[in-house]
Structure 1
Amino acid sequence: MLDNDYVKIFSGTFIIVQLVVDRLDSVGINAIVKDESESARMAGFGSSFQGFQELYVSKEELDHAIPIVEAVKGELEV
Structure 2
Amino acid sequence: MNDTNYVKIFSGSFVYAQMIINRLEEVGIRAVVKDESESGRLAGFGSPIQGFQDIFVSEEELTKAIPIIEIAKSDLEAEKNPD
TM-score (norm 1): 0.93
Match of 1:26 in 2: 26
| Uncovered stretches (5+) of structure 2, i.e. residues with no partner | 79-83
Larger radius of gyration: 2
Match of 2:51 in 1: 51
State how many pairs are aligned: 77
Matching of residues 1-20 of structure 1 within 5 Å:
5-20=5-20
| Uncovered stretches (5+) of structure 1, i.e. residues with no partner | none
Extract structure 1 runs of 4+ deviating beyond 6 A: none
**One-letter amino acid matched to 1:10:** F
* Aligned-residue CA RMSD (Å): 1.2
TM-score (norm 2): 0.88
